Structure 1
Amino acid sequence: MLSFFKKKDPAQDPFAAQGVTSDATSDAAAESSAAEAPRRSWTERLKAGLSRTRANLGGKLAGLFSRARIDDELLEELESTLLMADCGVEATHWLLDELKARVKKDKLESPAQLQQALSELLTQLLAPLERALDVSSHQPFVIMIAGVNGAGKTTSIGKLAKHFQTQGKSVLLAAGDTFRAAAREQLMTWGERNGVTVIAQESGDPAAVVFDAIAAAKARGIDVVLADTAGRLPTQLHLMEEIAKVRRVIQKAEPSGPHEVLLVLDANIGQNAIAQVKAFDKAIGVTGLVVTKLDGTAKGGVLAAISRQCPKPVRFIGVGEGIDDLQPFRVDEFVSALFEDNA
C-alpha cells in the first residue's frame, strides 16, 4: 500500500520500538553533542575532514618541499606520494609532466615554488568537476540517486533535502529502495527531521514508487523530487537492469526527466570509484557525483583520478556526519584545505 509520510512527533522514532539505531538518528545524536560547542564554519569542517588525506598527501609533500633544491629524486618521491593518495596513474603522470614543463619554462628553483605550481595544477585539474547543480530549470526537478550499499546514499538524500530547503525549495522524497525495509524507515526518519513528505511502499516495484512520487509532486507543486534506489554492485547485471528500468519509468512520468542522475561514492574505495562511475554511467547515464566520507579516508586524491578518467561533475562532497556536512564541491576550497598546513 502506498504511504505518504509527513513530519510527526519526534518521539515517534520508527526505530525506537525495534531497538535499532538508524544513520539518521545517529546523525541527530552527533549533532546534539556538537551543538554544545560553537558550530565551525564549512571551511574549518572541510579542513578537518580532509585531515587524513592532507596527512597522507600534504604531510609527505611538506617534507619533500622543505628540501634545498628540485632534483630527480624529489620528483620520483612526489610521484609515489600522489599515487599513494589514489590520484591514479593518469592524473599523476599529467601532474608530473606539467610540473616538469613549468620547472623548465618558469625556471623554478626552490621546492616552495614547486609546491605552489602543484597547487595551481591540481586546481586546474579539478576545475572541470566544479559545476553547481541548478534545480530551477524544471518543476518538479527530478533527481535519481544511485550507489552501492554502504556508500551513504540514503543519508545523503536526507542531507540533500535539507540543502535544497535552505534554498527555499520544497522537496519530496521517493523511497525507491523497496528491497530493504531499513532503507525505507531511514528515509522516513530523514523526512520527519526535515518536515518533508516521503512516499513509500512496504514492498513492491521501486519504479512504481518513483512514478507515484512524481505524480504527487506535480499535483502539489513540489520543486524537487529526490528518488532513492536500491543499492547494488556494478557487477550485478540483473540488478543494474532494474535500476535502468527505474530511469525509464521516470521518463514516462516526466518526459524531460530525470533531470539529474547522481551517483553516491564512498571516498574510502579509492580507485574502485572509477569502475563504479563507468558501470553506473553505462546503465543509467550518470550526470553528477556525490563523494561521501572524505573525512574517513586518506584517499581524497581519487577526485584527481575521476577528473582524468571519467570527468563527471562532483556536485557535493561529504566530510562528516552532521546534516550540514554535505556541501557543494568548490575546487579552491578543496585544494586550499589540502595544502594550507604546508604553506
Structure 2
Amino acid sequence: MFSFFKKKTPPPAAPAAPAPPEAPPAGGQPSPPPAAAPAPVPAPEPAAPAVPAAAQPPADTPADAPAPSPVTAEPARRSWMARLSAGLRKTGSGITTVFVGTRIDEALYEELEDALLMADTGVKATTQLLQTLRRKVKEHKAADPAAVKALLADALTELLQPLEKPLVIGAHQPTVIMVAGVNGAGKTTSIGKLTRHLADHGQSVLLAAADTFRAAAREQLGVWATRNTVDIISQQGGDPAAVSFDAVSAGRARGKDVVLVDTAGRLPTQLHLMQELTKIRRVITKAYASAPHEVLLVIDGNTGQNALAQVKAFDEALQLTGLIVTKLDGTAKGGVLAAIAQERPVPVYFIGVGEQVQDLQTFKAREFAEALLG
C-alpha cells in the first residue's frame, strides 16, 4: 500500500438549483469536487491533478485554501506483511524466544532486556518499553507468557506511533522533495520506487539528478525516469546545487506536481560534503522560496545504532521531515526504529523489504510491532 495526503483544488460556488446526482466524469473532463471532504480513493483510481495543468502560475497555497484531504491506496497487504514478518524474523526471534516456556518473573524481564538491546532497540527505548510492559502486566494481571507478549506488542506500537505519518503531496505546486543518505543505503533506488508510486497515483514527477559525484548515479536515475515515463534534469559532471536549481525552476515552469532531488551519498562525518548538502538546500530555496517542502533521509535498516547516528547528524544539518528505511529483510537490527522513536522521532514515511517496486510500503506502527514479535 502506498498512501499520501493529496490537496484538492477549491470547489466552485454551488449553483442555485439542486445539484444533480453524482456521476462519473465523462469524456476525460474532470468534474467539480463536492463541497464535503472527499472519501478515501481506492488504489486503482488515479488521483486528480493538484492544480489543472497550466491553469495558473506556480505559487504557494493561499491562506484560505482547504486543508489537504486524504487519498489512500488499500490493496491487499497480506503478501507484503508476510515478507515483512520474514524479513524481521532475525530481529524478532531473539525477543520472542524469551516468552517460550517461562514464568512471568524478574528473570523474564532481564532476558527481555538483553534481547531488546541485541536487536539495537537502544538503552532509552528498552527502558521505556520495559517500564510500560511492567505497568500493563500489572493492570491486566497477565500471568500467561503469550498475553505478556501481546502486551509488549501494544507497548511497542505506542512507542512507534509518533513515527507513523503520511507524506503530503499537493499543498504546494510543485512539492519539492530533497532526498539524502549515505552511499549504499538504497537512496536512488528508493527514489525510483517512490516515483513509480507517485506516477501510479496520477502525479506528474520531475527528477533531478543532483548526485553528480557517484559513478553511474545519473544513468541509474535516468533508467528509473525512462521506466516510469517521467522527466529528468541532469548534467554530466555538473554542480549538484546548479542541477537542483534548474530542476526546481523547470518543475515550476512545467506545472509538475512533484520534483524529486537525488543528492550525492554523504557520510555525516565528512563535514565538507555535508556542507555541500546544506548548500543544495539553500539553492533550492532560492529557486522556490518555500522549498524544499520535504527533506527525506534514506537509511539502511541493517546498520542498527549507526542509523540513529545518521538521523541525528542529517537532521541537524538539513532539518529532516521524514525517513525511508530500507533493507529490513533479513536484518537482526530492526529494533533501531524504536530507538529513533525514543531519541529522534522523525516520521518514517516508507519501509522497504525487497528490491521490487511493491516492496516499498508505508510504515504503520501496529503492523511493524506485530511483524517484529511474530
Tell me by how many angstroms 1:52 deviates: 4.4
Point out the more displaced range, 64-73 or 171-180.
Answer: 64-73
The within-5 A match list for 1:55-94 is 55-57=90-92, 59-94=93-128
Instruction: Report the TM-score, using the length of structure 1 for normalisation.
Output: 0.84
Give the SS at the match of 1:327. Answer: strand
| Cα distance in 1 for residues equivalent to 2:300 and 2:201 | 26
Change (3 A) 1:47 1:337: farther
- Are 2:355 and 1:294 equivalent residues in the alignment? no
Residues 222 and 232, structure 2, Cα contact 8 Å, conserved in 1 = yes
Unaligned segments of structure 2, at least 5 residues = 1-74
Tell me by how many angstroms 1:283 deviates: 1.1
| Cα distance in 1 for residues equivalent to 2:245 and 2:281 | 10
**For residue 145 of structure 1, what is the aligned residue in structure 2?**
179
**For residue 256 of structure 2, what is the aligned residue in structure 1?**
222
- Are 2:228 and 1:194 equivalent residues in the alignment? yes
Tell me by how many angstroms 1:214 deviates: 0.9
Q: Letter of the aligned partner of 2:186 in structure 1?
A: G
| Cα distance in 1 for residues equivalent to 2:190 and 2:245 | 21
Q: Letter of the aligned partner of 2:91 in structure 1?
A: N
**For residue 189 of structure 2, what is the aligned residue in structure 1?**
155
| Cα distance in 2 for residues equivalent to 1:260 and 1:216 | 18
**For residue 82 of structure 2, what is the aligned residue in structure 1?**
47
**For residue 116 of structure 1, what is the aligned residue in structure 2?**
150
Tell me by how many angstroms 1:41 deviates: 4.9
**For residue 134 of structure 1, what is the aligned residue in structure 2?**
168
**For residue 27 of structure 2, what is the aligned residue in structure 1?**
none
Residues 212 and 240, structure 2, Cα contact 8 Å, conserved in 1 = yes
Residues 46 and 319, structure 1, Cα contact 8 Å, conserved in 2 = no
Give the SS at the match of 1:290. Answer: strand
| Cα distance in 1 for residues equivalent to 2:370 and 2:305 | 23
**In the TM superposition, what whole-angstrom CA distance separates every residue of 1:144-203 from its partner, at most 9, and x where no partner exists?**
000000000001110010111122111010000111241000000010100011110001
Residues 94 and 115, structure 2, Cα contact 8 Å, conserved in 1 = yes
| Cα distance in 2 for residues equivalent to 1:328 and 1:127 | 13
Point out the more displaced range, 99-108 or 82-91.
Answer: 99-108
**Rg larger in structure:** 2
Tell me by how many angstroms 1:56 deviates: 3.5
**For residue 141 of structure 2, what is the aligned residue in structure 1?**
107
Change (3 A) 1:239 1:322: same
Point out the more displaced range, 103-112 or 42-51.
Answer: 42-51
Give the SS at the match of 1:296. Answer: coil
- Are 2:319 and 1:319 equivalent residues in the alignment? no
Match of residue 178, structure 1, among 203, 209, 212: 212
The one of the two structures with greater contact order (alpha-carbon pairs below 8 A, sep at least 6) is 1
Tell me by how many angstroms 1:46 deviates: 3.4
Tell me by how many angstroms 1:204 deviates: 1.9
**In the TM superposition, what whole-angstrom CA distance separates every residue of 1:306-329 from its partner, at most 9, and x where no partner exists?**
000100000111110001211111
Give the SS at the match of 1:263. Answer: strand
**In the TM superposition, what whole-angstrom CA distance separates every residue of 1:42-97 from its partner, at most 9, and x where no partner exists?**
3322332342432432x334432232520111111111111111111111111111
Unaligned segments of structure 1, at least 5 residues = 1-39
**In the TM superposition, what whole-angstrom CA distance separates every residue of 1:130-152 from its partner, at most 9, and x where no partner exists?**
00001110010000000000000
Choose between structure 1 and 2: higher helix proportion: 1
| Cα distance in 1 for residues equivalent to 2:310 and 2:319 | 12
Residues 91 and 304, structure 1, Cα contact 8 Å, conserved in 2 = yes
**For residue 274 of structure 2, what is the aligned residue in structure 1?**
240
Percent identical pairs in the alignment equals: 59
Residues 293 and 320, structure 1, Cα contact 8 Å, conserved in 2 = yes
Q: Letter of the aligned partner of 1:306 in structure 2?
A: I
Residues 86 and 330, structure 2, Cα contact 8 Å, conserved in 1 = no
Residues 327 and 352, structure 2, Cα contact 8 Å, conserved in 1 = yes
| Cα distance in 2 for residues equivalent to 1:163 and 1:250 | 24
**For residue 252 of structure 1, what is the aligned residue in structure 2?**
286
| Cα distance in 2 for residues equivalent to 1:332 and 1:85 | 18
**For residue 21 of structure 1, what is the aligned residue in structure 2?**
none
**For residue 330 of structure 1, what is the aligned residue in structure 2?**
364
Change (3 A) 1:204 1:56: closer
Give the SS at the match of 2:88. Answer: helix
When the two structures are aligned, how many residues end up with a matched partner? 300
**For residue 37 of structure 1, what is the aligned residue in structure 2?**
none
